[in-house]
Amino acid sequence: MKYFRTQGIVLRYTNFKEADRMLTVFSPDRGKMQVLARGCRKPRSRLLAASQLFCYADYIFVKSKEIYIITQADVKDSFYDIRNDMERLTYGTHILALTEEAVNYEEGNFRLFYMLLQILAYLAYGEINPEDVAHVFELKLIDLLGYRPALDRCIACGSGLEQMNSNKLYFSTSQGGIVCNNCHSRVNDGYTIHKNTIQTMRFILGMDIKRLGVLKFSRMVRNELDYILSAYLNEIIGKPLKTRSFIEHIKNER
Ligand SMILES: [Zn+2]
């Protein structure tokens, strides 16, 4: 049997048998992994803390046939404050679901791993609105996946943002960029977008994620980012995410 060590973040789990749990763990060097945490739901299990959603730990696994089994785990951060708050938990679960879509099995992704760690830290300990944290993650993820939107000029006719009538701008999710009023009739998936939202998107794409704390979002920018990023992600991933319906739900509760 072969032992190895890796860092990981728990993206999802399924309980089975009396006290076991199958985890989906994201490792920076191995990508997505299906991992068995044996007996982790027993009250005094050493693996209990390391088998919770969002947990960031150093794991030692043994590979037996096709299954990875945790033999040891050293929790570095449980991000407990995310699980402790309904709104943070909802956006946090959405962020994990997006990560799960973006990562492959047996394929490391260091950039996404460290971005996710920083985002979870903001979500757990920061003062920023959890919805804004999720939007920053969504846009950075879109960029990481190779779909950075074109925000400088109209993707149909090429006219620059400065020459456009700034009251009538659109974002096309199928083309991945902004469309001017003249070209709008030729695309049928143009969402209304204001210049402030375009500028915020450009700022997010250019900034280091460590500076997330300096961002301030107006309600209008937040709303536009919400439907535009969500529609664009559906286009990229090819389906709507289930976690979206929880977000709609808590928004309606407010
Ligand atoms: Zn145009």
Rounded distance between C-alpha atoms, residue 97 and residue 9, angstroms: 12
Predicted local distance difference test score (pLDDT) of residue 40: 92
Average pLDDT estimate for 143-148: 96
- pLDDT above 90 for 252: no
Under DSSP, the state recorded for 124 is: H
Q: Which residue blocks in the chain are alpha helix, DSSP H?
A: 80-83, 86-102, 110-125, 130-144, 195-206, 219-237, 243-253
186 CA from centroid of ligand 1 (Å): 9
176 CA from centroid of ligand 1 (Å): 14
| Mean pLDDT rounded to a whole number for the chain | 93
183 CA from centroid of ligand 1 (Å): 4
- The pair of structure tokens assigned to 171 is 């974002």
23 CA from centroid of ligand 1 (Å): 48
Average pLDDT estimate for 163-174: 85
Q: What DSSP element (H or E) covers 5?
A: strand 2-16
φ and ψ of 129, to 5 deg: -50, 125
CATH numbers and ranges of domains, the chain: 2-77 (2.40.50.140), 80-149+190-253 (1.20.1440)
168 CA from centroid of ligand 1 (Å): 11
- pLDDT above 90 for 251: no
Closest among 189, 240, 249, 195 to 221, alpha carbons compared: 195
Strand, coil or helix: 190 = strand
Predicted local distance difference test score (pLDDT) of residue 247: 82
Whether 191 contacts 227, CB under 8 Å: yes
- pLDDT above 80 for 164: no
Q: Which residues pair with 192 in a beta bridge?
A: 170
Rounded distance between C-alpha atoms, residue 2 and residue 14, angstroms: 25
User: Residue 77: how many CB atoms within 10 A of its CB?
Assistant: 15
**pLDDT band for position 241 (cuts 50, 70, 90):** confident
75 CA from centroid of ligand 1 (Å): 52
Strand, coil or helix: 94 = helix
φ and ψ of 184, to 5 deg: -55, -35
- pLDDT 10s digits, 185-238: 888 788 999 999 999 999 999 999 999 988 899 999 999 999 999 999 999 998
Q: Which residues pair with 31 in a beta bridge?
A: 27, 105
162 CA from centroid of ligand 1 (Å): 12
Q: What is the pTM of this model?
A: 0.94
**pLDDT band for position 157 (cuts 50, 70, 90):** very high
- pLDDT 10s digits, 67-119: 899 999 999 999 999 999 999 999 999 999 999 999 999 999 999 999 999 99
219 CA from centroid of ligand 1 (Å): 27
**Residue matched to tokens 């998936």:** 189
- The pair of structure tokens assigned to 2 is 């072969």
**Residue matched to tokens 């977000």:** 247
Share of residues in the chain with pLDDT > 90 (%): 78
171 CA from centroid of ligand 1 (Å): 11
229 CA from centroid of ligand 1 (Å): 21
Strand, coil or helix: 119 = helix
Predicted local distance difference test score (pLDDT) of residue 253: 77
235 CA from centroid of ligand 1 (Å): 21
Under DSSP, the state recorded for 108 is: -
Q: Are strands 67-77 and 31-37 parallel, antiparallel or unpaired?
A: parallel
- pLDDT 10s digits, 37-51: 999 999 899 999 999
